Amino acid sequence: MWLEKISLLNFKNYEELELSFSEQINCLVGENGSGKTNLLDAIYYLSLTKSAFSTTEAQNIRHQAPFFMVKGLIHKNDHDYQIQFSVQGGQKKVGKNNGVNYDRLSEHIGSFPVVLITPDDTDIIKGGSEIRRKFFDGLISQIDSVYLENLINYNHVLKQRNSLLKQFAENNNYDSDLLDSYSDQLLDFGAKIYAYRKAFVSSFFPTFIAHYDNISGQKETVKITHQSDFASGNYRKDFFQTYQKDLVLQRTTKGVHKDDFDFEINGFPVKKYGSQGQQKSFVIALKLAQFDIMKLEKGIKPILLLDDIFDKLDDLRIAKLVEMVAHHSFGQLFVTDARPERTQTIFQPIEAEKKVFVIQQGTVIDESFM
């Protein structure tokens, strides 16, 4: 699968843009603030019907413009797909595939997979447990729709249970049968979610390790551990023993919504002790493992979007990454870099079709094969 053409109208800092890409390696170079990340974001948008960075659609519309449009021509399994999304200020987003409107945009998600690696990804390490659960939940859901169903059900029961705990406190009453009715369901869905996550982490781990070892040159040992209240053989009993606490705090204090994934390098938490380069290597390995799993599930190589991937990495680690590229482990690749010479040095020796786009203030001022 590959993106041959993109055209943008009023997307972020691009007023109007039309580009043809290489099927293999595309380097986007330019100064800070020129629009490299925005272009990657437009590609991300074509796959996931939303920006990876903006929280509202309004942020994607170029300042003072009335609408934006992102259009792409994608080739997949000998078929051509003209994909288009547009948002008119304040109106519903419209999505089209070969001229036919999507009834629901969710139909589109998953058809043209991309994996984006950005500097923001270190939030997976530095942020709260919610970000890590979201990362793994997203991955497991792609593999098994029943998991997603369980997750939705669990969250729904959780909301009802929390709302009930609040009402108990407000009305100063308590009905253990009613609370039990929610607890039982929460434990049933929770046990399934726990089992899924546990199984997933153990199948994901070897893939992750392989990538980390490769990038780091096997200098460090890494580990991912799934933490859960459900890991205890007594989780049912434990759960019912927290009723008092739940009633006081008016929320559910135990369950898979509290699960976490501990990341370690050489036996110490990456969050606290990992260097910036180690943290970066860790998330790159996580994302490359994600790439492998998606490739396996969908039977096609996702488009790989690498934003400022070389910053903070030492020469050895960069060389390892480039080696993977050279061995054609990936499909189509987009790489941004604020330093054109570095990109030149890194990609020059690789035998592949390479195209360089020089970006300046929302326009491409030069494009050439390397």
Partner 1 sequence: MEYPSKLIEDAVNEIAKLPGIGKKTALRMALHLLRANEERTQLLADSLVNLRTKTQYCTHCHNIADAPVCAICSSSKRDKQTVCVVENTTDLIAIENTSQFNGLYHVLGGVISPLEGVSPHDLNIDSLINRVKDLSLDIKEIILALSATMEGDTTSFFITKKLRDYPVKITTIARGVPIGSELEYTDEITLGRSILGRKAYEH
Ligand X SMILES: Nc1ncnc2c1ncn2[C@@H]1O[C@H](COP(=O)(O)OP(=O)(O)OP(=O)(O)O)[C@@H](O)[C@H]1O
Catalog residues that contact Mg ion under the rule CB under 5 A: 37
Contacts of residues 102-108 at CB distance under 8 Å and 24 or more positions apart, as own/partner, are 105/49, 108/49, 108/83
Per-position x/- string for 52-91, each x denoting binding to partner 1 as judged by CB under 8 A, each - no binding: ----------------------------------------
CA of 74: how far to CAs of 98, 262, 303, in Å? 10, 38, 11
Residue 184 makes contact with partner 1 by CB under 8 A: yes
Using rule CB under 6 A, residue 62 touches ligand X: yes
- Measured from the CB atom, the residue of 163 and 275 that comes closer to partner 1 is 163
Which of 153, 242, 253, 344 lies at the binding interface for partner 1 (CB under 8 A)? 153
Q: Residue 44 burial (CB < 10 Å; 0-12/13-18/19+)?
A: buried
Q: How far is CA 264 from CA 209, 224, 234, in A?
A: 12, 6, 27
> b/e string for 297-318 if b means 16 or more Cβ within 10 A?
ebebbbbbbbbbbbebbeeebb
Return the number of the residue (246 or 307) whose C-beta is nearest partner 1.
246
Q: Is 180 in the site for partner 1 (CB under 8 A)?
A: yes
163: contact with partner 1 by CB under 8 A: yes
Among 7, 88, 97, 160, which residue interacts with partner 1 (rule: CB under 8 A)? 160
User: Cα separations (Å) of 97 from 58, 289, 303?
Assistant: 23, 29, 18
Nearer to ligand X, 86 or 329 (CB): 86
| Distance of closest approach, residue 220 Cβ to Mg ion, in angstroms | 28
Q: Does 26 help bind ligand X (rule: CB under 6 A)?
A: no
What is the smallest separation between the CB atom of 195 and partner 1, expressed in angstroms? 15
Site membership for partner 1, residue 245 (CB under 8 A): no
Residue 181 in contact with partner 1, rule: CB under 8 A: yes
Where does residue 236 rank: exposed (0-12), middle (13-18), buried (19+ CB within 10 A)?
A: middle
> Which of Mg ion, ligand X, partner 1, none does 145 bind, CB closer than 5 to 8 A by kind?
partner 1
Q: What does the DSSP 8-state code read for residue 25?
A: E
Residue in this structure with the two tokens 């499909």, named with its chain if needed = 331
Among 25-33, 52-60, 179-187, 193-201, the segment contacting partner 1 (CB under 8 A): 179-187
Site string for ligand X, 289-328 (x = CB under 6 A): ----------------------------------------
Residues 35, 11 contacting (CB under 8 angstroms): no
Asked if 338 interacts with ligand X (CB under 6 A), we say yes
Give 177 or 315: the residue with its C-beta nearer to partner 1.
177
Residue 311: name the closest of 77, 180, 117 by CA: 117
Nearest to 309 by CA among 327, 331, 287, 293: 287
CA distance 291 to 313: 20
User: 3-state SS string over 137-152?
Assistant: HHHHHHHCHHHHHHHH
Contact positions vs partner 1 (CB under 8 A): 145-146, 149, 153, 156-157, 159-161, 163-164, 166-167, 175, 177-178, 180-182, 184-185
Contact positions vs ligand X (CB under 6 A): 12-13, 30, 32-38, 59, 61-63, 338
